[in-house]
Structure 1
Amino acid sequence: MTERSGADEQRPDAGGQRLTTRETAERLGVKPETVYAYVSRGQLSSSRAPGGRGSTFDAAEVEALARRTGRREPSSATGEPAVRTGITLIADDRYYFRGVDATELATRHTYEEVAEWLWTGELRPGVRFTAPAQTVAAARRAVGALPVHCGSTDRLRVAVVAAAAADPLRFDLSREAVLGGARSLIPALVAALPTAGGDDGAGARDVELSLDPGYRAGAGAAAPGGSATAVGLARQLWPKLTARKPDEPSLAALDTALALLIDHDLAASTLAARVAASARAHPYAVVSAGLGVLEGPLHGAASGLAHRMLAEVLERGGAAPVVADHLRAGRRVPGLGHRLYTGEDPRARTLFGLLARIPHAGPALAAARDVVATTARDRTLHANVDLALAVFSVASDMPAEAGETVFAIARTAGWIAHALEEYGERPLRMRPSGHYTGPRPPQPLPSLAPLRLREWPRN
C-alpha cells in the first residue's frame, strides 16, 4: 500500500469546500505527483494546510478540471462500465497486444516472449521462465494432498495458494517484485500438475529442466536462439496434458495457443483479477481471483464442452445428430460464435491453420468443420477459440479439461499484466454503488422464535 503522510490525511476545517492532495488525486483519477504537476502548469491552485504542512485544493476547481481532463472512468457505448487499459485492443475482428497484432506475435514468438511483451512492452528473445525448487515442492505437496477426482483448475488454485505461502515477499507490489514472482509462478503451476498417465517420476523429467537451483528473483533463464523447439513452457506442459509422445508441430500449436490466450481485454476473469489488484491484493491473490471465475462453463470451461461434442461427432459419424440433440435440449452448440467478433475468432483461425499441418488432427478438424457447416444451414455462426482448442485436445488424446488447463496457464500472464496496470491506478477505484431494490426503511425488527433451553439427558 502507498504510504501517506499524516499531514496529507488531515482534512482542514474550511466548510468542507477544500480537498487534501489524496482526495484531489482520487477525484481526478491520477497519482498525487500528477496533482502537483497540474499546479505547476497553472491548471490548479493550492493553499497550505493549517500548520504549514501539506496542501489543500478548491473542490469546485478540482471538479472543473476533472470535467476538462476526462480522467474519470469512461463508459462504453452500451452504458456498461469501462476501464482504461493499454494492454489489449479488440477492433474490426482482430485483436492487438500493445498495438501489435496478437496473432502475428503468437505465431512468431514463444509464449514467454509474448508474456514479456505484454508485461514490459519489450521483446526478450529466448527468455525462459524458471521456478525456485522450494516453490515447486510446496505446490506439489499441496496438490498431491487433493482427492483424485479433483480437476486441473482445482489443482491450479491450490498450487497458487501454496506458492504464495512459500513467498515471503509476495506483498511487495513493486514492478520488479511482481515480475519476478510472475516469472516463477507460471512454471511452478505447470510443475505442480500431475503427469498424464500417473507416471509423475518419468514424465516430469522435462519439467525439471524448468527448475533453477540458483534461482534469482526477476531473472529469466535464456535459451539460445529463442527457438520454439527449446525447452519452454509448452514442452513442460505437454506431459501434464497427455501421455502421447509430442511432435514438433503439436508443440508449436500448443505454444501458439498459450500465446494467443494470454489476454482478451476485460474478460470476466480479468475483471475479477483487476478488482483484486485495485484492492492491492498481492499477485498470487490476483491470479486466484481470476482462476475462481475461469472455472465457469461460459468462460474457461467452454472448451471442455466443445471437446465432448467433437468426440461424440467422431463416435456417431457426423455432426447432424449431435447438433440436433443440443438444439432439442435447448443448449447452445459449443464452440460457435463470439460477441466480440462478427466473423471467425482470429484465435481460432490461427490455431486451425497450425492444426492443419498435423496429420493426426485431420479427423477432429473435419468434425469441427462439419459442426460449423451443419449449424450454417440455419444461421451463420463462426468457430471460436474453444472449438479450436477442442480439436487440439481431441486429436492429441487429451482429456476434456485440457483446454481449460491451457486457458488457465496462458491467462495467468494476462492477469499479471492487468495487475501491474491496476497497481498504477488509485486504489479501490473499482467500487460501484449498489442499486438497492429491497424494502424501503424503516422496517420493523423481525420477530424471533422464542429460545428453547436445551434439555440435557438425565442420569
Structure 2
Amino acid sequence: MKDQAAPGDGSAGATTDRLTTREAAERLGVKPETVYAYVSRGQLSSRRAPGGRGSTFDAAEVDALLRRTGRREPSPVTGDLVFRTGITLIEDDRYYFRGVDATEMATHYAYEEIAEWLWTGELRPGTRFTAPAEALAAARRTVDALPAHSGSTDRLRVAVVAAATADPLRFDLSPEAVLGSARSLIPTLVGALPTSAGAPTATGHEAASQTPGLARRLWPKLTAHPADAASLTVLDAALGLLIDHDLAASTLAARVAASAHAHPYAVVSAGLGVLEGPLHGAASGLAHRMLVEVLERGSAAPVVADHLRAGRRVPGLGHRLYTAEDPRARTLFALLAQVPQAAPALAAARDVVTTTARHTPLHANVDLALAVLSVSSGMSAEAGETVFAVSRTAGWIAHALEEYGERPLRMRPSGQYSGPRPPQPLPGPGSATT
C-alpha cells in the first residue's frame, strides 16, 4: 500500500513527521528489511524520500503499528532472516492463509482443498489426492524393511526417498510438475504407514473406489479405534490447521533446499529432518505423556509441580507468536468438545492450563490440543508428530513453489569466525586447539 501523494508533498514542511527507514526500524525494534516486509504486507505505507534516495514513513503510522505488534518482530541483533511470502500471515493472535482466516478454512474445508488453496490460490471443492501405484509400492517396501521399533517420522523420511525414485519427472521444477508430485506424494506417505494393529483395512479395490479424504485414510494408521464422524472432523481440521505457520524452523529448511533448486521430494526431506526435533513437531508427544499422567493421578497439580521442580517447561503451553491462546488449539478444543470420549482428556488439558496459570500466564498451544486427540482416541504418543508431518508437507511444497521463483541460492549468510587467527602452525600428531 502506497501513499497517494498530493502536490507539494515533497516540501520540507510536509516531511517533518516522517522517518527514514533506519529510524522506523529503530522505533519498531526490527531490521530495516522487516520494515519493507511490513510495506509488502500492507501494514505500512512508504513514500520516496526527496531526491529519490530511500523511503520515508509516517511517524504516526509507525507508532500505530508498534502498538499493534508489541515489538514481537525479531530485533536487529538476533540474526533472523526476513523473507517476503504470500502464504501465511500471523497477526494479532490470528493467522491467515492467503488472506483468509485459517481457522475458518479448517472448519469449512477438507485438508486437500486447503492445500490446493495454499498452492494455487484457487479453491477446488471435492479435491482428493491419489497415490500412484508404483510410488506407493516402492514406499511400502522401503518402510516394511525398517526395524520394528522405527518411529513414524523414520518411516515418512524413507517413504519420501522411495517415492522420489519412482518419479522420473522429479527434477522438473515447473509449477505444474511440482504440483503433480505434491498431489501424489502426500497420499503416498499416508499409504506407506503401517495400519495400527486391530484396525480394519480396506482392500485395494475398496480404497480405489471410495477415494476417501486424507483424514479417513490416515485414521487407521494412527489408532485401532473405529473412526466416528466427530473424531474424523477433528483430525481433518488438525491437518488443515497445521499445513503452514509462516517460517517455522522446518519450513525455513525446506526453503533453503528449494533455493538450491532441490526437487520437491528433497525439499520435504529437509523439512522432515528438522521436524523430528523435540522442540518442533515432536512437542505434542511430550504433551500426550503429560495428559496420560494427569489422568492416572487424577489431577494436574502434582504433574505440573513435578515439571516445575525438575526445571522443565510444562508441555503444550505458550507460543512466542501468540499472546493469548493459540488459535489452532482454540479451534480444535471446540471440535473436541463434540467428541464424547474426548471429555476426560479435554478436562485434563483444561486442568493443566488452570493450574499453571496460578504461577505464569501461559495459554494452550496446538500441541496440547493434538495430545487431547491422541490420548482420547487410543493413539500413540507420536501420533501428533505424524499428523504434523503429513499436514506440513503441503506447506513445505507451497513455500518451495514460492522459492523456486526467487533468485537461486539467495540464502547464503556469512559466518562470524571465532576460531584462532591465522597463520597457525601445521598441527602434528596429538595436537589440539586451545
Same fold (TM over 0.5): yes
Equivalent position amino acid for 2:75 in 1: T
Which structure is larger by alpha-carbon Rg, 1 or 2?
Answer: 1
Equivalent position amino acid for 1:234 in 2: A
Q: Which residue of 2 aligns with 1:149?
A: 149
2:113 corresponds to 1:132: no
Alignment partner of 1:96: what SS? strand
2:140 corresponds to 1:174: no
Q: Which ranges in structure 2 are unaligned for 5 or more consecutive residues? A: 1-50, 57-72
Q: Which residue of 2 aligns with 1:426?
A: 407
Q: Could you tell me how far 1:447 is from its partner in structure 2?
A: 1.4
Q: Which residue of 2 aligns with 1:78?
A: 75
State the TM-score, normalizing by the size of structure 2.
Answer: 0.81
Q: Which residue of 2 aligns with 1:399?
A: 380
d(CA) in 2 for partners of 1:83, 1:141: 39
Q: Could you tell me how far 1:449 is from its partner in structure 2?
A: 5.9
d(CA) in 1 for partners of 2:92, 2:195: 40
- Per-residue displacement from partner, 1:12-71 (whole Å, max 9, x unpaired)? xxxxxxxxxxxxxxxxxxxxxxxxxxxxxxxxxxxxxxxxxxxxxxxxxxxx999679xx
Over 3 Å counting, the alpha-carbon distance change for 1:272 and 1:348 in structure 2 is same
Q: Which residue of 1 aligns with 2:369?
A: 388
Over 3 Å counting, the alpha-carbon distance change for 1:292 and 1:210 in structure 2 is farther
Q: Which ranges in structure 1 are unaligned for 5 or more consecutive residues? A: 1-63, 70-75, 213-222, 224-229, 451-459
d(CA) in 2 for partners of 1:354, 1:99: 23
Q: Which residue of 2 aligns with 1:311?
A: 292
Which of 422, 425, 434 in structure 2 is aligned with 1:444? Answer: 425
Q: Which residue of 2 aligns with 1:36?
A: none
- Per-residue displacement from partner, 1:77-104 (whole Å, max 9, x unpaired)? 5122111111000000000000110000
Alignment partner of 1:203: what SS? coil
Which of 364, 369, 374 in structure 1 is aligned with 2:345? Answer: 364
List aligned pairs for 1:291-306, cutoff 5 A: 291-306=272-287
d(CA) in 1 for partners of 2:104, 2:206: 28
Over 3 Å counting, the alpha-carbon distance change for 1:130 and 1:66 in structure 2 is farther
Q: Which residue of 2 aligns with 1:162?
A: 162
Equivalent position amino acid for 1:181 in 2: S
Q: Could you tell me how far 1:379 is from its partner in structure 2?
A: 1.3
d(CA) in 2 for partners of 1:115, 1:66: 41
Q: Could you tell me how far 1:208 is from its partner in structure 2?
A: 6.5
Coordinate RMSD, CA, aligned: 2.1
Over 3 Å counting, the alpha-carbon distance change for 1:66 and 1:444 in structure 2 is farther
d(CA) in 2 for partners of 1:67, 1:258: 43
Would the aligned equivalents of 2:341 and 2:376 in 1 still touch at CA under 8 Å?
yes
Over 3 Å counting, the alpha-carbon distance change for 1:66 and 1:189 in structure 2 is farther
Would the aligned equivalents of 1:204 and 1:239 in 2 still touch at CA under 8 Å?
no
Would the aligned equivalents of 1:131 and 1:211 in 2 still touch at CA under 8 Å?
no
Would the aligned equivalents of 2:89 and 2:95 in 1 still touch at CA under 8 Å?
yes
Over 3 Å counting, the alpha-carbon distance change for 1:432 and 1:357 in structure 2 is same
- Per-residue displacement from partner, 1:252-277 (whole Å, max 9, x unpaired)? 11000000000000000000000000
Which of 324, 329, 334 in structure 2 is aligned with 1:343? Answer: 324
Equivalent position amino acid for 2:181 in 1: G
Would the aligned equivalents of 2:198 and 2:224 in 1 still touch at CA under 8 Å?
no
Q: Could you tell me how far 1:381 is from its partner in structure 2?
A: 0.6
The runs of 4+ residues in structure 1 deviating greater than 4 Å are 64-69, 207-212
Q: Could you tell me how far 1:448 is from its partner in structure 2?
A: 2.8
